[in-house]
Structure 1
């Protein structure tokens, strides 16, 4: 079993909370880098959210 499979198992049932954490972490990085790498951060957030799965799409990015 890969590390990713283990993490997915631990997150099962908590996908929404994990996605919120991904969004907060991305916002933190954007803030610290003064949005210099916002495109790369957004891409990483999207890929992480795809891996997490779940039932609802990622949160609205209007706050950026």
Structure 2
């Protein structure tokens, strides 16, 4: 059996609420979501080179 071509990535998961300016804060940085999700709780997946925002398990934003 062969090993996967790419190594596993460690992800940090957190939750946040999309603010009225449609932004969410991760650490010291702000990332945009979508106006449709203002006031909604979202899950945020942080890996080495990407931030992803999920609503009900659907990715709504990705920032490299």
TM norm. shorter chain > 0.5: no
Greater fraction of residues in strand: 2
Structure in which a larger fraction of residues adopt helix = 1
TM-score by length of 2: 0.19
TM-score, scaled to structure 1: 0.19
